[in-house]
Chains A and B, each alone.
Chain A
Amino acid sequence: DVKVTQSSRYLVKRTGEKVFLECVQDMDHENMFWYRQDPGLGLRLIYFSYDVKMKEKGDIPEGYSVSREKKERFSLILESASTNQTSMYLCASSLTGQANHFGNGTRLTVT
């Protein structure tokens, strides 16, 4: 069974802080994704990666960056957190052409 693990379930950060959200998958999937989920807006793709050191912008990349140094790990970075980045962040992984498998999410609150 695929396991996607997000390092934190809940995070509280202050405006202006640099925030790292970590995600690890154990199924050797080539693709990894970061989404955010907000009420009434569904899941929106922030960034994705289809190979180590490769990244592509999703639909809402502004204010975020990512890092993929190893195949199993995909990090989302908020360079300077703002209150409008308060959200549920979901990491996913997949084989190309197949369904995304999601982690349980990180609820980030920026105060």
Chain B
Amino acid sequence: DQQVKQNSPSLSVQEGRISILNCDYTNSMFDYFLWYKKYPAEGPTFLISISSIKDKNEDGRFTVFLNKSAKHLSLHIVPSQPGDSAVYFCAASAFGGSGGSNYKLTFGKGTLLTVNP
């Protein structure tokens, strides 16, 4: 039962254009969402997060949008740069929950972004 889904295994965009990575979730208890970036042979690096009380969060070139009614979030990267080429993971947590649920993250399978010069 996959609670966090990234349906696009890969995405290719031109340098300078917008990259949009999508993520869907099924667990209505999730209240905190994060995006991680991962280069080969390195651990994932935290990029940006959003709480369920917001619908948008921006940090420089990165913006995350949350549509709770659709259980959908997206990461926008503008403008895309070749150094952004990496695997992007969406993750979710029920931090407001109880027991073990408020500690752990559930990850999607990742989307490989390639930004072409």
Contacts and interface: CB of A to CB of B under 8 A. Distances in A.
Interface string A16-54: 000000000000000101010000111111001010000
A104 B44 CA distance: 8
Contacts of A97: 32, 95, 102
Contact of A102 (B6, B43, B49): B43
Interface range on chain B (Cβ under 8 Å from partner) = 20 to 34
Contact of A43 (B42, B44, B46): B44
A92 B110 CA distance: 18
A58 B9 CA distance: 24
Contacts of B110: 42-43
Say which size band chain A's interface belongs to: 20 to 34
A99 B34 contact: yes
B72 to A, nearest CB: 18
Contacts of B41: 9, 104-105, 107
A48 B44 contact: no
Interface in A73-111: 90, 92, 94, 96-97, 99-105, 107
Contacts of A4: 43
Contact of A48 (B34, B91, B104): B104
Interface of A: 4, 9, 31, 33, 35, 40-45, 48, 50, 56, 58, 90, 92, 94, 96-97, 99-105, 107
